[in-house]
Amino acid sequence: MRSELEVNGARVAWEHEPHEFLTEVLRREGLKGTKRGCESGDCGACAVLLDGEEVPSCLVLAAQAHGHAVETIEGVGSFEAPHPIQEAFLDATAIQCGYCTPGMVLATKALLAETPNPTEADARACLAGHLCRCTGYVKPIQAVLSAAQRCQAGAQ
Ligand code: FES
Ligand code: FES
């Protein structure tokens, strides 16, 4: 079957099987920043934004994205020009292997769109569904709070 959607601001039309989940189709189309983890909605590695809302792409059928806008980590920033959220994660040394990082960055982006000045409790809630086997969670939470400051400073 064929689904037409917007991915990182570009309109695309992708062929896929009816039963395929968005994680698989995104990765097949080259967007491998979307990670495959538990594939049961529990780890956050596959997170993407669907119409601005964080979703686990392992539980969203590709067909469900038809007519919608998807943002993956590739749409957030680049190696040469990282997004302030990515800079915050780097500066807080909130990244070790980086497997969980795309999901955390996208979760942070969704949080800050709704809550530009989050509390620590907000930051903890934001990352609650994101499992990291490397860093622990103190630094990622610091990164979320730092990202909020950076994004607000950038908006002024
Ligand atoms: S791979 Fe989707 S939540 Fe773990
Ligand atoms: S940095 Fe390795 S899983 Fe989080």
Q: Class assignment of domain 2-75?
A: alpha beta
Q: Where are the domains of the chain?
A: 2-75, 84-155
Q: Calculate mean pLDDT across residues 66-83.
A: 96
- Please identify, by atom number, the ligand 1 atom nearest to the C-alpha of residue 38: 4
Residue of the CA atom closest to atom 4 of ligand 2:
132
Residues 102 and 34 sit within 8 Å (Cβ to Cβ): yes
What is the value of pTM for the model shown? 0.96
Distance 40 CA to ligand 1 centre (A): 6
Radius of gyration (C-alpha) of the chain in whole angstroms = 15
> Do 23 and 36 contact (CB within 8 A), yes or no?
yes
> What does the pLDDT read at residue 156?
61
The finding on whether 58 has its CB within 6 A of some atom of ligand 1 is yes
Measured in angstroms, how far is the CA atom of residue 41 from the centroid of ligand 1? Answer: 4
Percentage of the chain exceeding pLDDT 90 = 95
How far apart, in whole angstroms, are the C-alpha atoms of residue 138 and residue 13?
A: 40
pLDDT of residue 135: 86
Task: From 97, 104, 108, 144, give the residue whose CB has the most ligand 2 atoms within 8 Å, as the site to mutate.
Answer: 97
For 117-153, how does the pLDDT look when each residue is reduced to its tens digit (9 = 90+)? 999 999 999 999 999 999 889 999 999 999 999 999 8
Task: Give yes or no for a contact between 141 and 120, defined as CB atoms under 8 angstroms apart.
Answer: yes
Which ligand lies nearest the alpha carbon of 43? 1
Of the pLDDT bands very low, low, confident and very high (cuts 50, 70, 90), residue 55 is very high
Question: What residues form DSSP beta bridges with 56?
Answer: 47
CA distance to 14, 36, 65, 133, per residue, from 28 (Å)? 10, 12, 15, 25
Report which residue type is found at 89: F
DSSP code, position 51: T
Residue 111 and residue 126 in contact, taking contact as beta carbons nearer than 8 Å: yes
Task: Give the pLDDT mean for 47-69.
Answer: 98
Q: Return the CATH architecture of domain 84-155.
A: Orthogonal Bundle (1.10)
With tokens 């067909």, the residue in question is 63
Question: How far is the CA of 140 from the CAs of 6, 27, 49, 62, 150, in angstroms?
Answer: 29, 25, 19, 29, 15
Distances (CA, A) of 156 to 84, 104, 123, 150, 151: 14, 25, 22, 10, 9
Q: Ligand 2 in contact with 73 (CB < 6 A)?
A: no
- Confidence (pLDDT) at 90: 97
